[in-house]
Amino acid sequence: MMNKKFNSGKGISISGWNPGSRTSGPRYSLEGPRRYSDRRSSTPGFDLAFIKNFKVRSVAVLLSLLLFANLATLPAQKNPLDSIIAAHPEWGEWTQNPEKYQVQVRLTEFVTEGRHGLFTYYDYDWGCAPGEYFYPASTVKLPVAALALEWLNDQGIENLDADSFFTTGKGRKPQSERTTTADTEHGFPTIANDIRKIFLVSDNDAYNRLFELLGQERITRRLREMGLKESRILHRVGVSGFGPEDNQYCNPVHFHYPDKTLYQRAERHSVWREEVIPWADRLRLNGEQRGVGYTLGDKLIMQPFDFSQKNYLSLENLHRLMFMLVEPGFFSHERNFRLNDDGFDLLRAAMSTLPRQSNYPAYVDKPDNYVKFWLFGDRSKDYRIPDHITSYNKVGLAYGYLTDVAFIKDAKSGKQYLISGTIHVNENQIYNDGVYEYEKIGFPFFGKLGRAVHEYITGEKL
């Protein structure tokens, strides 16, 4: 075997994010150094757009030279995912045969190092495969929640905000209306409440209402504009009767207070067409036909399941999305959501709140780990997440795919890190039959690997 590492040197991103280069070849190696390791470093708030505002180019050159000089003194970093996973074959077959389970993991470690106390981050990959399809499930709710707040800001309408009453009508079938809710004190839906429901329990209807507000064209276009090229969000989730064409139509919406209409819009058509964008920017994926069969109603169809009209977000894009929301200072304004501080605060509060900590909406019957896969996915239902650990995250679970992207803060150690991962557990390769190995393989993957990574970062064993 070749001991070739992908992008094994430290990279630098003046704009705050370096997607790195990718070399073709095996994604995993169980002998010697892992082939798929990645490490990069950067500094927060160092924005190329800022440099462009200087009329004297020599200033920009000097700043760049200083930055590179600082980075040159940073020590090389080994990929901890390699050693952690290699040390635990007892975790299951996925450690030895990760391609079978489509395992992908990305870890960002935030550190302060060097004599000047330079704040840097290091990225480590294990098996990440841009261009290889996996179903993101409810993780697509993460960008849609942020884009709904961005949409409010873009309207520029006085008093129109996340707490405005937000009701939805119905146009063509099978659309449905939503005019009231039991989840708010006043009985009306709001975007703020939908966002809380999305992150507290991954509520499907809350996401669908925001999808209907925005439409697939605006959602996908904005993701691409922010540099998230490995993305497409085309449909509602968790609701039957909507085909690809049905998902191109957005319900009528009405924002109001009891005595005043703030914004109203009729049903509209919103379609994302990959073929109208430049060929070089089009999304090209492998593996959109999966398995050997699927169920349709009470029938078993023995042919691969087609994911080509399904939502997609690469793990790298999901990882970056979370990075953009929890540490927006790393990114230029052009490469982030158009949100004010209140918008970022609302999202972070919703992501980090546990079901038992919420009154509106209230979910007293949901355990702490209901939507917290990393570190806690395999814990019992009565397990309480320690108070000193905060997880800002979004999970997805469907078709045998489990995914979680989480920014973890540990108040005891003062350490923080960002970890994303996905695994596919569908042993019989039949989709829609409800037979998946979530409990046996999926949740333990996130729990055991997550706790080992946490111990590596913080020194604390959970």
**Rounded CA gap, 29 and 308, in Å?**
30
Q: Does domain 137-374+388-405 have CATH number 1.10.10?
A: no
Whether 2 shows a pLDDT value over 80: the answer reads: no
SS3 165: strand
Number of Cβ within 10 Å of residue 131's Cβ equals: 12
Half-sphere exposure of 294 (CA within 13 A, CB side): 13
Give the dihedral sign, CA 18/21/27/33.
Answer: negative
Q: pLDDT > 90: what percent of the chain?
A: 77
Half-sphere exposure of 439 (CA within 13 A, CB side): 4
Mean pLDDT for the stretch of residues 58-72? 46
Residue 60 contacts by C-beta under 8 Å, 6 or more apart in sequence? Answer: 51, 52, 54
For residue 76, the model assigns a pLDDT of 57
Cα→Cα distances 208→79, 194, 430, Å? 39, 10, 26
Reported as a single tens digit per residue, the pLDDT across 377-435 is 999 999 999 999 999 999 999 999 999 999 999 999 999 999 999 999 999 999 999 99
Spatial contact of 364 and 356, defined as CB atoms under 8 Å apart: yes
For residue 61, the model assigns a pLDDT of 41
- What average pLDDT does the chain have? 87
**Rounded CA gap, 229 and 283, in Å?**
7
* Helix-helix angle 204-214:191-201, to 10 degrees: 140
For residue 70, the model assigns a pLDDT of 52
Spatial contact of 300 and 430, defined as CB atoms under 8 Å apart: yes
Reported as a single tens digit per residue, the pLDDT across 280-337 is 889 999 999 999 999 999 999 999 999 999 999 999 999 999 999 999 988 998 999 9
Q: Which of 38-52, 369-383, 388-402 has the lowest mean pLDDT?
A: 38-52
Residue 35 structure tokens:
């082939």
Whether 50 shows a pLDDT value over 50: the answer reads: no
* Helix-helix angle 315-326:341-352, to 10 degrees: 120
**Residue ranges of domains in the chain:** 137-374+388-405
**Rounded CA gap, 154 and 169, in Å?**
22
**Rounded CA gap, 382 and 173, in Å?**
42
For residue 161, the model assigns a pLDDT of 98
For residue 260, the model assigns a pLDDT of 96
Tokens 């703030």 appear where?
A: 262
Mean pLDDT for the stretch of residues 200-224? 98
**Rounded CA gap, 357 and 377, in Å?**
19
**Rounded CA gap, 68 and 368, in Å?**
44
For residue 75, the model assigns a pLDDT of 55
Nearest to 449 by CA among 92, 48, 43: 92
**Rounded CA gap, 193 and 427, in Å?**
38
Whether 19 shows a pLDDT value over 60: the answer reads: no
**Rounded CA gap, 198 and 143, in Å?**
11
Residue 229 contacts by C-beta under 8 Å, 6 or more apart in sequence? Answer: 281, 283, 317
**27 pLDDT tier (thresholds 50, 70, 90):** low
Amino acid at 418: L
Nearest to 145 by CA among 315, 354, 369, 393: 393
SS3 162: coil
Q: Which residues pair with 295 in a beta bridge?
A: 300
Determine phi and psi for 80, rounding to 5 degrees: -70, -25
**Rounded CA gap, 416 and 127, in Å?**
23
Whether 449 shows a pLDDT value over 70: the answer reads: yes
Reported as a single tens digit per residue, the pLDDT across 140-165 is 999 999 999 999 999 999 999 999 99
Cα→Cα distances 346→41, 95, 198, 207, 265, Å? 29, 37, 12, 16, 25
Residue 74 contacts by C-beta under 8 Å, 6 or more apart in sequence? Answer: 10, 41, 113, 114, 118, 120
Reported as a single tens digit per residue, the pLDDT across 239-294 is 999 999 999 999 999 999 998 999 999 999 999 999 988 888 899 999 999 999 99
Predicted TM-score (pTM) of this structure: 0.86
Edge-first strand order for the sheet with 104-113 is: 118-126, 104-113, 415-424, 401-410, 389-398
Whether 212 shows a pLDDT value over 60: the answer reads: yes
Q: Which residues pair with 107 in a beta bridge?
A: 124, 419
DSSP structural state of residue 357: G
Q: Which of 33-47, 112-126, 334-348 has the lowest mean pLDDT?
A: 33-47
DSSP structural state of residue 334: G
Whether 51 shows a pLDDT value over 70: the answer reads: no
